[in-house]
A and B are shown apart, each in its own frame.
Chain A
């Protein structure tokens, strides 16, 4: 980014918006928008409380369980749909519908079926994350260089070797992109699941803060959740860039 002919770091845009936020907050324009500095201050206070630690632990556990489930189901399903035409015809439409469907609308239904509790949140995370993982894996495997598969066959590769030595590695960039998008959706899944269930984890805190108009705490929690999602997404993106380098000549 350049401004008045000078190179400005990207972080500058963040500072501009945080500055604006601070000014609007201090002007007392709305009680819903406390000054940014207050929000950050509160974030540090909240992060040290036992209540937050307990909520974060529950949320992380649900997130990890839901993501693990999404990966364990999503990857094989993606491979299956890429390699077997029948599976693609049978499932393709449903995966495409669900990847863009408002999953949040299903959570109340889940509560009725699975019960109100952590399980509902785990299933919500799973549903938020799994479809994009399936789709990206499928695309990655389908777009795997066909001549590489042909090459492996011509040198006598067995079916299992074609998967382990060609397809998985060839699809790795897309698989990682799917995992990154899945993880971002998974974070949404945790928050939305817990908000709707409303008695556990970070969702309970959100509910508590907004009900009592504790806006500084509310925004602080938003910031913390945002940072968490950003950190996961960025670390997966870093891995992706590393893989892209080797897959660069495709």
Chain B
């Protein structure tokens, strides 16, 4: 395995009980320091693949390699951002963000200091003492992102993180995510069903076909993310990518 590959999956197959074949023989490499998207219609097993990479559910066959080592469970080099935020409702923002460090047994002063830094980074400095039910959906997902950043994993797995957030907030959030990733050299694997989101964010897009999920195509949009968001959305590469994906995915929509 080359040094510039952060995560690699080899021949992953997953069959759920009841003979539902979610994934068949999926092999994929995720380059280090890039944002890679898994894109496909519902039922293509993209979330299943992400959770297999996270070590949250076992595959029936195949291997997951992370940083050159084969893994079969969760590990500190991977952090997950959940679609439904998965925040502890009884804990403050501060405790939620520090939760990963708390599980590792880090003393409170130390973990709170790290958590505060990342809370400020996602723009929630004034809400450290708030509870999740006092925050909007967008703010809750910022907490989820800060929690993933706080454990200092070099690979961040994001499962449709913006799907429960309204459109305006989502755009803002996408821009901020790109901005944030400029400062952290993280490998991000991002699951989405939004073509525009994938084209806007990604260095690499993998299209999965539905039932069973297989790699249909891998695209590298080649968009220069160092330019402003409005420029990107008018960029020819961006528009071509959106069109290319749509032409491909159209056949799966009934």
Whole-angstrom CA separation of A172 from B91 in the bound complex: 14
Identify which of residues 81-121 in chain A touch chain B, using a CB-to-CB cut-off of 8 Å.
none
Checking A147, A165, A172, A247 against B82 with a beta-carbon cut-off of 8 angstroms, the contacting residue is A147
**Given that A147-B82, A161-B103, A249-B133 are known contacts, is A153 also in contact with B89, CB under 8 Å in the complex?**
no
Whole-angstrom CA separation of A246 from B133 in the bound complex: 8
Checking A148, A156, A243, A247 against B86 with a beta-carbon cut-off of 8 angstroms, the contacting residue is A148
Sorted nearest first, the 10 A-B pairs with minimum C-beta distance are: A249-B133, A151-B86, A155-B100, A246-B90, A154-B80, A147-B86, A249-B89, A248-B133, A157-B103, A154-B74
Q: Does A145 count as interface, using CB distance less than 8 angstroms?
A: yes
**Given that A166-B88, A169-B90, A249-B89 are known contacts, is A150 also in contact with B56, CB under 8 Å in the complex?**
yes
Q: Does A152 count as interface, using CB distance less than 8 angstroms?
A: yes
Residue of A nearest to B153 (CB): A155
Q: Does A250 count as interface, using CB distance less than 8 angstroms?
A: yes
Q: Does B54 count as interface, using CB distance less than 8 angstroms?
A: yes
Whole-angstrom CA separation of A250 from B54 in the bound complex: 24
Instruction: Say whether A250 contacts B80, CB under 8 Å.
Output: no
Contact flags A127-162 to B (C-beta < 8 A → 1, else 0): 000000000000000000101101111111110010
Whole-angstrom CA separation of A250 from B86 in the bound complex: 10
Instruction: List B contacts of A153 (CB < 8 A).
Output: 56, 74
Beyond known contacts A155-B79, A165-B102, A246-B89: 20 more, CB 8 A cutoff:
A147-B82, A148-B88, A150-B56, A150-B82, A150-B86, A151-B80, A151-B82, A153-B56, A153-B74, A154-B78, A154-B79, A155-B80, A155-B147, A155-B151, A156-B75, A166-B88, A246-B131, A247-B90, A248-B89, A249-B133
Whole-angstrom CA separation of A157 from B54 in the bound complex: 14
Instruction: Say whether B88 contacts A169, CB under 8 Å.
Output: yes
Instruction: List A contacts of B87 (CB < 8 A).
Output: 249
Whole-angstrom CA separation of A191 from B220 in the bound complex: 76
Whole-angstrom CA separation of A150 from B157 in the bound complex: 13
Identify which of residues 225-250 in chain A touch chain B, using a CB-to-CB cut-off of 8 Å.
243, 246-250
Identify which of residues 60-91 in chain A touch chain B, using a CB-to-CB cut-off of 8 Å.
none
Whole-angstrom CA separation of A104 from B223 in the bound complex: 76
Identify which of residues 49-90 in chain B touch chain A, using a CB-to-CB cut-off of 8 Å.
54-56, 74-76, 78-80, 82, 84, 86-90
Instruction: List B contacts of A151 (CB < 8 A).
Output: 80, 82, 86
Residue of B nearest to A249 (CB): B133
Instruction: Say whether B89 contacts A250, CB under 8 Å.
Output: yes
Instruction: Say whether B90 contacts A152, CB under 8 Å.
Output: no
Instruction: State the interface size on chain A (CB cutoff 8 A).
Output: 23
Whole-angstrom CA separation of A151 from B159 in the bound complex: 12
B52 to chain A, nearest CB (A): 12
A42 to chain B, nearest CB (A): 46
Instruction: List A contacts of B55 (CB < 8 A).
Output: 154
Whole-angstrom CA separation of A250 from B84 in the bound complex: 11
Secondary structure class of chain A's binding surface, majority of residues: helix
Contact flags B35-54 to A (C-beta < 8 A → 1, else 0): 00000000000000000001
Identify which of residues 82-132 in chain B touch chain A, using a CB-to-CB cut-off of 8 Å.
82, 84, 86-90, 99-100, 102-104, 131-132
Checking A145, A148, A156, A169 against B74 with a beta-carbon cut-off of 8 angstroms, the contacting residue is A156
Whole-angstrom CA separation of A157 from B100 in the bound complex: 8
A129 to chain B, nearest CB (A): 26
A163 to chain B, nearest CB (A): 13
Instruction: Say whether B56 contacts A154, CB under 8 Å.
Output: yes
A162 to chain B, nearest CB (A): 10
Instruction: List A contacts of B147 (CB < 8 A).
Output: 155
Residue of A nearest to B96 (CB): A151
Instruction: List A contacts of B86 (CB < 8 A).
Output: 145, 147-148, 150-151
Whole-angstrom CA separation of A166 from B102 in the bound complex: 12
Residue of B nearest to A147 (CB): B86
**Given that A153-B74, A249-B89, A250-B89 are known contacts, is A147 also in contact with B103, CB under 8 Å in the complex?**
no
Instruction: List A contacts of B90 (CB < 8 A).
Output: 169, 172, 243, 246-247
Would you mind naming 8 contact pairs between A and B with Cβ atoms under 8 Å apart? A147-B82, A151-B86, A152-B103, A166-B88, A169-B90, A246-B90, A248-B133, A249-B87
Whole-angstrom CA separation of A152 from B102 in the bound complex: 11
Instruction: List B contacts of A169 (CB < 8 A).
Output: 88, 90
Whole-angstrom CA separation of A165 from B74 in the bound complex: 18
Instruction: List B contacts of A148 (CB < 8 A).
Output: 86, 88
Whole-angstrom CA separation of A157 from B86 in the bound complex: 14
A82 to chain B, nearest CB (A): 19
B5 to chain A, nearest CB (A): 22
Whole-angstrom CA separation of A154 from B203 in the bound complex: 25
Instruction: List A contacts of B84 (CB < 8 A).
Output: 147
B51 to chain A, nearest CB (A): 8
